[in-house]
Structure 1
């Protein structure tokens, strides 16, 4: 299975953003920043990684469902809702 270019571009953008956030987190911890600020930033990094992973999973799921059904396009929003209901 190959990912569509727009999916790859979006995932890479999200991962680069998370990479920058991790760098910022390291600086915050090394600089002795308040625990609350560190936790807020850590949660943001976690969400960014979750979104990148979700984008990959959703793209793969959509391809699998599209190949196995008569529908030419599966509604991504509906698939995302279904996937999130499992977590």
Structure 2
């Protein structure tokens, strides 16, 4: 079974995050080409890795939320509870990095 992000806002968020990371990577390439200090380049690598990790976490949570809503079909009061649960889950998982 193929599963894609169907929520337009989630998909836009993930794509925007990826575009920012892509820009950061281009910046790193430029730094290497220009002979920039390795420590500064290392800092930028760290920033890109964190950005990609954050994007992966966001995409995974959006996917999980989407799949649960499809399978459980919660009513509006349950949906609010699920939204809170996912925000808390994202906060908890973000601290694992």
The normalised TM-score by structure 1 is: 0.81
Residues paired across the two proteins, number:
87
1:68 Cα offset (Å): 3.0
Pair 1:11–1:86, CA change in 2 (3 A)? same
The answer as to 2:46 corresponding to 1:39 is no
Query: What SS does structure 1 have at the residue aligned with 2:79?
Result: coil
Q: Pick which of 50-59 and 1-10 moved more.
A: 1-10
1:79 Cα offset (Å): 2.3
Structure 2 gaps of 5+ residues are none
Give the root-mean-square deviation of aligned CA atoms.
2.2
Q: Could you tell me which residue of structure 2 aligns to residue 57 of structure 1? A: 60
1:83 Cα offset (Å): 3.9
The normalised TM-score by structure 2 is: 0.74
Contact 1:3 1:59 in 2 (8 A): no
Pair 1:85–1:51, CA change in 2 (3 A)? closer
